[in-house]
Amino acid sequence: MEIVKNAIAGTLESSDVLVKVSPSQDGTVTLHIQSEVIKQFGKQIRATVMQTLEALSVSAATIVVSDKGALDCVIRARVQAAVLRAADAQDLDWNVL
Amino acid sequence: MTDAPPGIDLNADIKLDFHTVSLTESPEVEAEIRSLLHDNGLDLDEQVETFVVCREKGRIVGCAGLDRDVVKDVAVAPSLRGTAVSLRLGSVVLKLAAARGHHDLFLYCRPDTVQWFRGWAFYPLVEVPGVITLMENNPLNLPRYVETLSRERRPGTTIGGIVMNANPFTLGHRFVAESAAKVCDWLHVFVVKEEAAEFSYSDRFRLVTEGLADIANVTVHHGSRYIISRATFPGYFLKDKAAVEHGFCGIDLLMFREHIAPALGINRRYVGNEPLDATTSSYNAAMKHWLSEAPSASAPIETIVIERLTVDGAPVSASNVRALLARGDLGGVEKLVPPTTFAFLRQYQQAGR
Amino acid sequence: MKLRRSMLFVPGDAAGMVSTSFVFKPDTIMFDLEDAVSPREKDSARLLVYQALRHPAYRDIETAVRINELDTEYGPKDLEMAVRGGADLIRLPKTETAADIELLDRHITRIEQACGRPIGQTRVIAAIESASGVVNAVSITRASPRMIAVALAGFDYLVDMQSERSGGSEPELFYARAAVLHAARAAGIGAYDVAYGDVNDIGGFLREVMIAKNLGFNGKSLIHPRQIQPLHKAYAPTRQELAYARRVIEAAEKAKREGLGVTSLDGKMIDPPVIAHAELVIRRAEAA
C-alpha cells in the first residue's frame, strides 16, 4: 500500500493511541513512539506497529505514535485506520487485518 | 461488581458537547470565550478565527483556537483541569486541523503548561524561559529540517547568515548580502516564507536568487515554518507591545541560534540597520541579546549590523519601493532596485497586479 | 434461552471503553457504529470493533454490533466486518418492515459463506424506532430464523410519533411496548425495552425497569455500566420466588422419575410453561 498523504487516527485519551502517518521522505519506514511506559512497553509497541504495517504491505512511511496506555489490539486498529486513510484506500482486504 | 478498572471513569460526565465555532459567523460566542480565557490569565488573540468549544449544560468550559496550523488560546475551566476533558478537546482540535489539511501543528503556551500539552502529543521546540514555549506535534520535523539544511554546509571558519523578507528585493538587500559575502567564507540567505507580503513568496524568492546570482559564495535557502514570522506568533499572552516583541524575538532568534545556525555552522548573523521602522529596529537590538548574550546550550552567534545603503541621501527600503510603485513612479523605483527586480516590477505594474 | 437482561451500548470509537467493557459483565456487549460515531470516524471505529470482536477477552461474552443502515455507505461495510469478526448478533437500526430483515439475512448468509462461518450462526436483533416499525412488528419478528430479539428504541420512536417522554407510567410508550412485546412472544423471541438516558437517576431507571419487567420484557438497552447491576438485581427473583421455582423443578423431576405425565404442586398444574418459567427464574437468580 502506498502512502500518498497525511492522515491521523485515534485520540489523545487514556487507553487510546494517536497515530500520525505521512509519506516517507527516504523510501523507508520511520517510526517514532511516545509513551509514558516507553521503558516497559516501547519494544512491544514498536513490534505491533511494524507487524501491522507489514501486513498492510507498507514499506515506506513516516509514523508518529503517541501512546496513552493502549492495548495491542487498539494500536493495531488505529495504525490500520491511519494507514488506510493515508493511502486513500477504499477497499479492504480482510485477510490482512 | 462496580469497581472500575483503571481508565474508566464511571462518574465521567457524558454530557459534554464539543463543536467548532467561527468567530466571524458567531460573534456572540466571543464574549464567552474571552471570559474563559481571562479566567486562565489569557487574552484573546485577535488573529484566531476558529475555535473548538466545549460546553457543559450550555456553558463554555473549554476552548482551543486554531489559526491555520497554529494552536493558540487554549483554556479549560479550573474545575475540569486535569480531567479527560482537556484530552478530548485536544483530540477534536487535531481532527479539525487535519480536516483542514494541517497535520503538523505548532502550539504556543506558557512554559508552566508544557507538561499539559505533552499530553496533547506536542513536543517543545524552543522556550523563552518564564515567558513562552513553542511546541510542535511532530517530533520528527525539526530534526529532519535540520538534517536537510546540514547537507548544504560549506567549509570555512566564518559562516554568515541573513534572514530577509525582501518584499521586493532591493539594492539595500543586495548591499547587506554583498558586504557580508565579502568577509565570510560562505553566506546563507533565508527568504521568509510568508504569504502576508505584497509580493508572493515564489516571486520574492526568485528575485533574491536572481539578485545574488553573481556572488559565488552565497546559498539562497527557502524559508520554512521554523523561520518564525509575526503572522503566526500570538500577541495575547503578554499585555504590552514591548513584552510581545520580547516573546516573539526570543522564540524566533533562539530557534535560529539553537537549530538553524548549528546545522550550517553559522556563527555570524548579518542585518541592515533600521532607522525607519521601530519594530524592526527593536528586533535588531533583541538579536544581540538572544543570539549571543542570553544563556543557551548553543554557541553564541555574533550579530553584525550593516549600515543601510543610501540613494539620494535616503536609506533604501522595500516599503519605499512599494510606495513608489503604487504611485506609478517607475523612475524612482529603478534607482532603488537591481535590474532583475526592476524588470519584474515593471511587468507587475503593467499587468495591473 | 440465553439470559439477555442487559445489553450495554459501547461507542465503537471509544478505545478505553472498547478495551475494557467486558469487565462489567453485561449479558451482551453492543458495539455501536451508528449514532455514537461521527461520520468521519466510522472507518476507524469499524476497525477498532473488529479487533475487539476477535480479542480473547470478548470470547466468553455475547457480542453485538449495531451497524449503520444498509442503505448508507457505512452499513454494508459494518456488516462485512461484524460477521467476519465473529459478532454473535447484528442489531439493525430503524427496522421498518420484514423486508429490511430479509435483506439483512441474505447479506449475512453471503458473508458467512464467503468467510467460512457456519451459515445461520450470526443472529439478528431488530431495533424498532418508528411508528411503521411498531405497526409491522409482527411480521418483523417472524422475518428470519436469525431473529433472537426485538428492541424498542424510545427516543426516535417518540420523535416519529410527535410525542415525548412524560415520566411516570408513560402512556405514550404503552402501545409500542405492548405491540413489540406481543410480536416478540408470538414469534418466540426476546424483547428489549428502551434505553434510559439519565445515568445519574438510578431510581427513575429502576422504576422503568419494573414497568418493563412486569409487562414481560426480557431486558433493556443500557447506556452506562452503572445501570447493569441495578438491572440484574431487579430481574433477580425474590427468595420466595426462587424457593418456589426450585420446588417446581424438584416436583417435575420427581414426576418424570415416577413416569407420571404432569404433576401438581400446591394445587397448581406443573405443565411445560410453568417448568420453563421456573428454569428462567433459577437462571436469573444464578446470574444476579
- B22-43 per-position pLDDT tens digit: 988 888 899 999 999 888 888 8
Residue B111, in any domain of the structure: no
Q: Report residue C131 CA to chain centroid gap.
A: 20
Same structural domain, C37 and C118: yes
Let me know: does C80 contact C111? Beta carbons within 8 Å: yes
Provide, as residue numbers in chain A, all residues whose Cβ is less than 8 Å from the Cβ of B151: none
Same structural domain, B46 and B155: no
Of B2 and B251, more confident: B251
Q: Which of B257, B232, B37, B240 is nearest to B128 (CA)?
A: B257
Of C205 and B232, more confident: C205
Let me know: does A81 contact A10? Beta carbons within 8 Å: yes
Q: Which of A11, A9, A66 is nearest to A37 (CA)?
A: A66
Same structural domain, C155 and C272: no
Let me know: does B120 contact B137? Beta carbons within 8 Å: yes
Residue B131, in any domain of the structure: no
Q: Which of C149, C151, C84 is nearest to C121 (CA)?
A: C84
Residue C1, in any domain of the structure: no
Residue B122, in any domain of the structure: no
Same structural domain, B242 and B156: yes
Same structural domain, B306 and B161: yes
Provide, as residue numbers in chain B, all residues whose Cβ is less than 8 Å from the Cβ of A61: none
CA distance B322 to B234: 27
Residue B143, in any domain of the structure: no
Same structural domain, C222 and C250: no
CATH of the domain at B54: 3.40.630.30
Is the pLDDT reported for residue A8 higher than 90?
yes
Same structural domain, C222 and C96: yes
Is the pLDDT reported for residue B19 higher than 80?
yes
| Residue that has been written with the C-alpha cell 503566526 in this structure | B232
Same structural domain, C171 and C113: yes
Provide, as residue numbers in chain B, all residues whose Cβ is less than 8 Å from the Cβ of C224: 10, 14
Q: Is C146 helix (H, G, I), strand (E, B) or coil?
A: coil
Q: How far is CA C15 from CA A68, B24, C31, C83, C141, in A?
A: 10, 35, 11, 21, 33
Provide, as residue numbers in chain A, all residues whose Cβ is less than 8 Å from the Cβ of B91: 11-13, 18
Same structural domain, B191 and B254: yes
When mean pLDDT is compared across A67-71, B83-87, C97-101, the lowest value belongs to B83-87
Evaluate the omega torsion of the peptide bond into residue B168 and state whether it is cis, within 30 degrees of 0.
yes
Residue B160, in any domain of the structure: yes
Residue C65, in any domain of the structure: yes
Q: At a CB cut-off of 8 Å and minimum separation 6, what does B10 contact?
A: B2, B4, C224, C225, C226
Same structural domain, B32 and B93: yes
Same structural domain, C253 and C190: no
Average pLDDT over residues A10-36: 94
Q: Which of B47, B81, B106 is the last residue of a domain?
A: B106
Same structural domain, B198 and B84: no
Let me know: does A77 contact C47? Beta carbons within 8 Å: yes
Choose the closest CB to B84 out of A7, A14, A34. Answer: A14
Q: Which residues span the domain enclosing C265?
A: 239-287
User: Per the CB < 8 Å rule, is B87 touching A13?
Assistant: yes
Same structural domain, C142 and C193: yes
Q: How far is CA B227 from CA A59, B139, B142, B219, C210, in A?
A: 32, 17, 11, 16, 67
CA distance A29 to B142: 18
Is the pLDDT reported for residue C92 higher than 60?
yes
Same structural domain, B165 and B276: yes
Choose the closest CB to B140 out of A12, A14, A30. Answer: A30
Residue C36, in any domain of the structure: yes
How much is the pLDDT for B143?
94
User: Per the CB < 8 Å rule, is B1 touching C199?
Assistant: no
Q: Which residues span the domain enclosing B35?
A: 16-106
Q: How far is CA C233 from CA B181, B291, C45, C63, in A?
A: 85, 71, 32, 22
Same structural domain, C60 and C198: yes
CA distance B279 to B191: 19
Residue C179, in any domain of the structure: yes
Taking every pair of Cα atoms in chain C, the longest distance, rounded to a whole number of angstroms, is 66
Q: At a CB cut-off of 8 Å and minimum separation 6, what does B175 contact?
A: B272, B306, B308, B309, B316
User: Per the CB < 8 Å rule, is C47 touching A94?
Assistant: no
Average pLDDT over residues C118-125: 97
Same structural domain, B159 and B99: no
Chain B interface with C: residues with Cβ < 8 Å: 1-2, 4-5, 7-8, 10, 14, 95, 99
Provide, as residue numbers in chain A, all residues whose Cβ is less than 8 Å from the Cβ of C83: none
Q: Which of C219, C235, C251 is the last residue of a domain?
A: C235
Q: How many residues does chain C have?
A: 288
Q: Which of B73-77, C60-64, C273-277 is most confident?
A: C60-64
CATH of the domain at B300: 3.40.50.620
Same structural domain, C171 and C64: yes
Give the model confidence (pLDDT) of B173-190 as tens digits.
Answer: 999 999 999 999 999 999
Amino acid identity of residue A6, one-letter, is N
Same structural domain, C261 and C130: no
Residue C138, in any domain of the structure: yes
Residue B12: pLDDT band with limits 50, 70, 90: low
Residue C113, in any domain of the structure: yes
Same structural domain, C10 and C131: yes
Residue B348, in any domain of the structure: no
The grid cell for C252 is 417435575
Same structural domain, B285 and B175: yes
Q: Is C11 helix (H, G, I), strand (E, B) or coil?
A: strand
| Residue that has been written with the C-alpha cell 533562539 in this structure | B254
Total count of domains within chain B: 2
Choose the closest CB to C226 out of B2, B5, B95. Answer: B2
Residue B339, in any domain of the structure: no
CATH of the domain at C13: 3.20.20.60
Residue B232: pLDDT band with limits 50, 70, 90: low
Average pLDDT over residues B323-331: 92
**CB under 8 A, 24+ apart: contacts of B108-111:** B108/B70, B108/B71, B108/B72, B108/B132, B108/B133, B108/B134, B108/B135, B108/B233, B108/B234, B108/B237, B109/B74, B109/B133, B109/B135, B110/B237
Total count of domains within chain C: 2
| Burial (CB count <10 Å: 0-12, 13-18, 19+), residue C80 | buried
Q: How far apart are the first and last CA of chain A?
A: 13
Residue B133, in any domain of the structure: no
Of B14 and B69, more confident: B69
CA distance C105 to C145: 9
Same structural domain, B244 and B95: no
Give the model confidence (pLDDT) of B240-263 as tens digits.
Answer: 566 666 777 888 899 999 999 999
How much is the pLDDT for B147?
94
Q: Which of C187, C163, B147 is nearest to C176 (CA)?
A: C163
Provide the percentage of residues in chain C whose pLDDT is more than 70.
Answer: 99
Of A43 and C285, more confident: A43
Same structural domain, B85 and B226: no
Give the model confidence (pLDDT) of C227-258 as tens digits.
Answer: 999 999 999 888 888 999 999 999 989 888 88
Q: What residue ranges define each of the domains in chain A, with the CATH number in brackets? A: 7-89 (3.30.230.10)
Same structural domain, B99 and B184: no
Q: How far apart are the first and last CA of chain B?
A: 73
Same structural domain, C243 and C207: no
DSSP state of C224: S
Residue B285: pLDDT band with limits 50, 70, 90: confident
